[in-house]
Amino acid sequence: MRIHLAIALLVLSSALAAAQAPATPSTPVAPTGDAKHGKELFESNLRCYACHGYDGQTGSPRLVPMGRAQDAFVAYVRKPSGRGMPSFAATPERDLVDVYAYIRSIAPAAPSVDSLPLLKAIAERRAKAN
């Protein structure tokens, strides 16, 4: 029942530092996996959603748009460089390839702030605050 918040924050911050998708995607080659199966893994068995959000972009770090190439992605999730990201070393490569395919299939759902009146209003209020 105890909350290991400090650890959770470490997990998040480490994950953010270590695993964030590059800001400028290098247009990796097309994925070869099964995106449908990858979605199932993402949301159930591997539970990627827990940190990254169900759509890969509401958690930390965001996975969409994915900047890593497939091989680099598989290598990274098997041996992440940060402490926050779990290692999926025991997960079959096929599954990781499918997860990659799913992540690549997610359309970035990030409309501009100007197109979102609520968020735009908050940004304006913040700008006026000082």
Binding residues for other proteins, rule: CB under 8 A, are 1-9, 11-12, 44-47, 49-51, 53-55, 57-60, 62, 83-91, 109-113, 116, 118-119, 121-123, 125-127, 129-130
* Least distance between other proteins and beta carbon 69 (Å): 22
* Least distance between other proteins and beta carbon 104 (Å): 17
* Least distance between other proteins and beta carbon 82 (Å): 10
Residue nearer to other proteins on the CB measure, 29 or 125: 125
Residue nearer to other proteins on the CB measure, 30 or 107: 107
* Least distance between other proteins and beta carbon 78 (Å): 9
- Three-class DSSP labels, 6-53: HHHHHHHHHHHHHHCCCCCCCCCCCCCCCHHHHHHHHHHHCCCHHHHC
Q: Are 33 and 101 in contact (CB under 8 A)?
A: yes
Torsion angle, alpha carbons of 81, 108, 116, 122, to 10 = 0
The candidate with the shortest Cα–Cα distance to 19, out of 72, 79, 82, 98, is 82
Residue nearer to other proteins on the CB measure, 32 or 87: 87
